[in-house]
Structure 1
Amino acid sequence: MNLQISKWLLLAIISSSVFLSVMDIFIVNVAIPHIKTGIHGTDSDIQLVIALYLLGYAAFLVTGGRAGDYFGKKKVFVVAMLLFVVTSAVCGFAQTPWELNVARFFQGVGAAWMIPQGITYIQELFPGGPERVRALGIYGSVAGSASVIGQFLGGILPETHGLLEGWRLIFLINLPIGLLVVPMALLLLPADRRGQRTGFDHSGVMLLTGALVCLIYPLIRGRELNWPLWCVAMLVAGGILLVLFIGDQKRKRSKGRLPLLDVRLFGFRGFNIGMAVVLFYFMVQDSYFLINVMVLETGLGFSSAETGMLFVFQGVGYVIASLVSLRLVPLFGKKVLQAGVAIMVVTLALHIVVLNGPEVDRQLLYPILFAYGTGCGSVLPSLLAVALKNIPIELAGAASGTFSTFQQTAIALGIGVIGGIFFSCLGPLPDAATYISAYHIATVTNMALLALVGFFLWLLPGDEPLKSSAGAACPIQSSN
């Protein structure tokens, strides 16, 4: 009995990492106008608040998994949680956009090192059978709940008045949770021996991180600065570093060394098409929140609390649809995802119809966002299974890590590209009509990206029902 209690208690400790990591994506989404005002930031500053967290996560996710094998899961989990807590405090007390964004990047790094340890612990604590299925289900439910809670708190906390500005609480709320978990993890998580020292791919991490930063940062900052030469140079350097990274990974693979990325994956046509699906879907994912929050709160004067509640409705739609879709996908395969994409496109069109002037029927927004959430819930939970369904079992782990890295990078890219389109259309002194016009243009772009998702889903080989992909669990997904 005690063994059983200890297992589920350990699962709660482990699940705190995915809770904090996911919540910190969604809690920021709703509060970005307050953050912008609080740090006296620009439009690109608030884009970076979202994007740099995701870049830190994407660049260090695979390395985080290797670190647990190299140094020990317990040690890495505790150190990563401490890094997350410290950087959360820095975010909460930041005085300038530069301080906030640097801290956000390292907050993402902390998340990238926490999450893989939890996945590995679950595999060890629950070796198989119904217990593992239940444990993974709880872990996934925690991630989904974190997205809804984050949206709710992101709306409520900025409206709080006290000793500190309300927006700072969206970061400082991580401190009590993290400071409670760290000693519990030190005392209760089982110690483990370091695995065989296979070595880190230090050069791979540096090349990938440099490439991602050089590509995403100027996309976000360049528009505001009228594309100075250094922005163009960074984009070119990003492309060069990406080519060097791929060549570096191929050489290491040919010499029998363990690369950061297994380039054999890109020899599978289905995997390449699946990554195109991931790219275009996740470009829409968080850019949707960015442009909707800006048009609702800054353009139309909604309170952050009301915006947060709207997104809670969307989250509820996501949860309901995800539970249904997980039962339908094994029967109907990718058709379920195609239907979900169609729902998302139709409901985005309804967004444009309703958000078409300064006088908005606010009650209509609730069912529309709920319906949009059902579309997301029909796509996202099974996207990993679709993207990786033809990958050999020996490459499943590497493919899952690549999926997660690609996912976070695509979200950051969407913030840069779609956010850039939106803010470019606003101009220097926008009024409500300008916000609505910019929102329409950015939303039509998102609809086009979703059309590409549907096209690449159609291109995926075969339409047979999908089997479970529990063996290649995605460490973290933005859940609605």
Structure 2
Amino acid sequence: MNAQISKWLLLAIISSSVFLSVMDIFIVNVAIPAIKAGIHGTDSDIQLVIALYLLGYAIFLVTGGRAGDYFGKKKVFVVAMLAFVVISAVCGFAQTPWQLNAARFFQGVSAAWMIPQGITYIQEWFPGGQERVKALGIYGAVAGSASVIGQFLGGLLPEMQTFLEGWRLVFLINLPVGLVVMPLALMFLPADGRRVARGSNNAGFDHTGVLLLTLALVCVTYPLIRGRELGWPWWCVVMLLAGGALLAIFFKDQKQKLAAGRQPLLDVRLFAFRNFNIGMAIVLFYFMVQDSYFLINVMLLETGLGFSSAETGLLFVFQGIGYVAASLVSLRLVPLFGKKVLQTGVAIMVSTLALHIMILDGAEVDRRLLYPILFAYGTGCGSVLPSLLAVGLKNIPIALAGAASGTFSTFQQTAIALGIGVIGGIFFSHLGPSPDVADYISAYHTATITNMALLVMVAYFLWLLPGNEAVGSN
């Protein structure tokens, strides 16, 4: 530990990574209409702006975690943050949808290499007891705050009049944070060497696994997003079939590496645990809803109903405040009441989505009603999300806990990208070439009802969990 600075200040330095990566998700969610207009993009271009960041993050998260052992946590943290900042600048100065989307993928990759180092540092600096609980609480609070700040800035920045288009500031806002944190990290983070030998059979990266998973997820996600807009050409169908085949090859490859004593990207032994499989089903259906909710609501409010981006951002700030407040309460209630807390949260989400449909049913909207409704929806999310990891990892052996956590995070980000493709596709397919307000409302209702159905599936799989102790405390 560096004697010149306390570990709590070091915690602030590494927490900047989760702040940047989370803020970047939510700031883009709210600014989507402005970004679409700025790059003269199509509906599918905008879906890809969200989805490719998440796919880059999902695919390389496990590899990023191992990179700290292989190269040293400090080196990986600083280099990954530098890459994140540089690529954010590339996003901010992009001239075409292709330039922006390619940069967004690599921005997600850099986040995947940056985040795991901070989590490992916390485990080392705070070895147990109340200190670790407090440190993880601070780290989680930073992530929650980043979501609220991102929603606020996503509404505010596109309306700012500067020498640059406002939407570009959505990405360039990352630069001052990174340029302040990187020198501090270089000066104060403790130096560390490799904890594994380069030649070790278990030490390196699963290059083949990363390549197969990347190709598989791109082959599934890209045609789901592009196909509708292009009229489903033959190559979209071929890509989907190829994606399914590549996923099958990926799982076979992972089993073979595990049997040979090598370190695979995904430990397939996890799927022998029933609760883990149920937890992954919950993660799939829940996270398909999470970001697609923002996409369809932002498009309806700003493009369909003419809300300003600032007003939309403020609405989602209320949703974020509800989330943060409920998450703090739910973490105390789950050890007492188990999965009932999550089931209550899902019920709140479904009922408030029904209220969304009732209120957002015409050109004239009582905007005052939206604030408490979005706040209530946020409380539902906050009652579910913080304990989903506990659902998936309950009864997992300690030896597999690290692999399970990485698989959970990968599955989570992939599910969000899939939701953007599926739910976003449903929404945009109902708009038609020249949509009016009625088209936007109809598309929104259809997509929101689909999200409600996905949440009902979450409730079903929560019901399958055996008793309240299946969730338990963290």
> Partner of 2:295 in structure 1?
290
Residue equivalent to 1:34: 34
Q: In the TM superposition, what is the alpha-carbon distance from 1:229 to its structure 2 partner?
A: 1.1
Deviates more, 1:192-201 or 1:169-178: 192-201
Question: Per-residue deviation at 1:5?
Answer: 4.4
The one of 328, 336, 341 equivalent to 1:336 is 341
**Equivalence for 1:475:** none
Q: Distance in 2 between matches of 1:444 and 1:303?
A: 25
Provide the residue aligned with 1:196 in structure 2: 196
Query: 1:273-422 counterparts in 2 under 5 A?
Result: 273-422=278-427
Partner of 1:473: none
Secondary structure of the structure 1 residue equivalent to 2:230: coil
TM-score (norm 2): 0.98
User: 2:214 maps to which residue?
Assistant: 209
Structure 2 CA distance, aligned partners of 1:466 and 1:426? 41
| TM-aligned CA deviation for residue 23 of structure 1 | 0.1
Q: Distance in 2 between the 1:466 and 1:45 partners? A: 39
Counterpart in 1 of 2:432?
427
Report deviation, 1:439.
0.2
C-alpha deviation, 1:4, in angstroms: 8.9
Partner AA of 1:360 in structure 2? V
Q: 1:10–1:188: 8 Å Cα contact kept in structure 2?
A: yes
- Secondary structure at the aligned position of 1:222 is classed as helix
Residue 77 (str. 1) matches residue 77 (str. 2): yes
- CA shift for structure 1 position 466: 3.9
Contact residue 329 and residue 465 of structure 1 kept, 8 A: no
Query: Is residue 117 of structure 1 aligned with residue 122 of structure 2?
Result: no
- Give 1:230's aligned residue: 235
Query: For the residues of structure 2 that align with 1:408 and 1:12, how far apart are their CA atoms?
Result: 25
The CA deviation at 1:468 is 3.0
CA shift, 1:380, in A, is: 0.4
Is contact 2:276-2:391 (8 Å) kept?
no
Q: Could you say which residue in structure 2 is the equivalent of 1:7?
A: 7
Partner of 1:357: helix, strand, or coil? Answer: coil
Output the CA distance in 2 between the equivalents of 1:27 and 1:351. 22
Name the CA shift for 1:2/1:112 in 2 (closer, same or farther; >3 Å).
closer
In 2, the alpha carbon distance for the partners of 1:456 and 1:403 equals 16
Query: Does the aligned pair in 2 maintain the 1:332–1:465 contact within 8 Å?
Result: no
Q: Is the CA contact (8 Å cut-off) linking 1:250 and 1:263 kept in structure 2?
A: yes
Deviations 1:134-177 (A, max 9, x none): 11111100000000000000000000011000000010010111
Q: For residue 260 of structure 1, what is the aligned residue in structure 2?
A: 265
| Contact 1:19/1:142, CA 8 A, preserved across alignment | yes
2:200 aligned residue = none
Shift of 1:467: 3.5
d(CA) in 1 for partners of 2:456, 2:130: 38
Specify the code of the residue in structure 1 equivalent to 2:431: L
CA 391–2 in structure 1, closer or farther in 2 if over 3 Å, else same = closer
8 Å contact kept, 1:347–1:372: yes
The 8 Å contact of residues 331 and 466 in structure 1, kept in 2 or not, is answered as no
Letter in 1 for 2:442: S
Work out the CA distance in 1 between the residues paired with 2:2 and 2:416.
42
Residue 430 of structure 2 aligns to a residue whose secondary structure is helix
Question: What SS does structure 1 have at the residue aligned with 2:193?
Answer: coil
Share of identical aligned residues, percent? Answer: 83
Q: What is the TM-score when the length of structure 1 is the normalising length?
A: 0.96
Corresponding letter in the other structure for 1:169:
L
Match for residue 272 of structure 1?
277
SS in 1 for 2:80: helix
| Structure 2 Cα separation of the partners of residues 4 and 172 of structure 1 | 32
Q: Is the 8 A contact 1:39 1:95 kept in 2?
A: yes
Aligned-residue Cα RMSD (Å) equals 1.2
Superposed, 1:34-183 pairs within 5 Å as: 34-183=34-183
How far does residue 6 in structure 1 lie from its aligned partner after superposition? Answer: 2.2
CA distance in 1, matches of 2:471, 2:373: 29
Q: Which stretches in structure 1 are left out of the alignment for 5+ residues?
A: 470-480
Deviation string for 1:181-232 (max 9, x for gaps)? 1111111111111021311110000001111111101100110000111111
Q: Per the alignment, do residues 337 and 4 of structure 1 end up closer, same or farther by CA in structure 2, a change over 3 Å counting?
A: farther
Residue number in structure 2 paired with 1:472: none
Q: CA deviation at 1:2?
A: 8.8
Query: Conserved in 1, the CA contact under 8 Å of 2:85 and 2:174?
Result: yes
Contact 2:5–2:188 (8 Å) recurs in 1: no
Letter in 2 for 1:39: I
CA contact (8 A) 2:362 2:438 kept: yes
SS at structure 2 position matched to 1:223: helix
Structure 2 CA distance for partners of 1:175 and 1:244, relative to 1, 3 Å: same
Aligned to 1:453: 458
Q: In the alignment, which of 219, 225, 246 is matched to residue 224 of structure 2? A: 219
CA contact under 8 A between 1:330 and 1:465: conserved in structure 2?
no
The 1-side partners of 2:226 and 2:371 are apart by 34
The residue type equivalent to 1:196 in the other structure is: V
Determine the C-alpha separation between the residues in 2 that align with 1:270 and 1:304.
42
Contact 2:36 2:42 in 1 (8 A): yes
Query: CA 1:2/1:105 → structure 2, altered by over 3 Å: closer, same or farther?
Result: closer
How far 1:462 sits from its partner (Å)? 2.6
3-state DSSP class of the match of 1:426?
A: coil
Alignment size in residue pairs: 469
Q: Which runs of 5+ in 2 are unaligned?
A: 198-202
Which SS does the other structure have where 2:352 is aligned? helix
Q: What CA distance in whole angstroms lies between the structure 2 residues aligned with 1:224 and 1:455? A: 33
Shift of the alpha carbon at 1:124?
A: 1.1
Taking the aligned partners of 1:405 and 1:421, their CA distance within structure 2 comes to 24
Are the equivalent residues in 1 in contact too, given 2:286–2:458 (CA < 8 A)?
A: yes
Q: Distance in 2 between matches of 1:270 and 1:467?
A: 13
CA distance, structure 1, for counterparts of residue 104 and residue 137 of structure 2 = 29
Q: Which amino acid aligns with 1:346?
A: S
Distance 1:397 1:236 in 2: 32
Are the equivalent residues in 1 in contact too, given 2:74–2:192 (CA < 8 A)?
yes
What is the SS of the residue equivalent to 1:224?
helix
CA distance in structure 2 between the aligned counterparts of 1:290 and 1:134, rounded to whole angstroms:
34
User: What corresponds to 1:477 in structure 2?
Assistant: none
CA distance in 1, matches of 2:21, 2:50: 13
